[in-house]
């Protein structure tokens, strides 16, 4: 998966990047999403309305399309199979879309970074402060 400049910069600062990306000692993928979400929910308390991990996926897809990224590239970014990748077309279309995915993920990262850099109003962005674990 191609990563944005911002993601690569974050990964470069993490001592435990291997554990996060590759799971236990690089032998298995990370699988603690539900437990991690429960911990985040506890830390957020009632500052954020109830949400699911699928809400993030839906929001990312919606906003990427609104940024002008074509739906088949968005689907490739989230590893979703439909439209251009389903049925007969999907049988023959083996494209990885590496360059379009790279551009799409960079556009998404730039969009997320804009309020932080002051290039766009923050809107409904909420600052989350790290609490005691």
Tens digit of pLDDT for each residue in 44-87?
888 888 889 889 899 999 999 999 999 989 999 998 877 666 67
Angle at 111 between CA 108 and CA 112, to 5 degrees: 90
Burial class (CB in 10 A: 0-12, 13-18, 19+), 104: buried
pLDDT at site 19: 47
pLDDT over threshold 60, residue 106: yes
pLDDT band at residue 129 using 50, 70 and 90 as cut-offs: low
Q: How confident is the model at residue 5 (pLDDT cuts 50, 70, 90)?
A: very high
100 within 8 A of 68, measured Cβ to Cβ: no
pTM passes above 0.85: no
Give the side-chain half-sphere CA count within 13 A for 9: 6
């Amino acid at each position: 998966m191609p990563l944005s400049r911002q993601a690569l910069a974050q990964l470069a600062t993490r001592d435990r990047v291997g554990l996060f990306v590759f799971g236990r000692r690089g032998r298995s993928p990370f699988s603690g999403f539900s437990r991690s979400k429960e911990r985040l929910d506890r830390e957020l308390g009632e500052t954020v309305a109830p949400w699911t991990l699928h809400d993030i996926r839906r929001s990312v897809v919606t906003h990427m399309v609104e940024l002008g990224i074509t739906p088949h590239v968005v689907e490739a970014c989230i590893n979703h199979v439909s439209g251009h990748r389903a049925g007969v077309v999907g049988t023959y279309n083996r494209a990885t879309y590496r360059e379009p995915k790279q551009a799409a993920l960079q556009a998404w990262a730039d969009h997320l970074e804009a309020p932080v850099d002051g290039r766009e109003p923050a809107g409904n962005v909420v600052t989350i402060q790290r609490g005691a674990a």
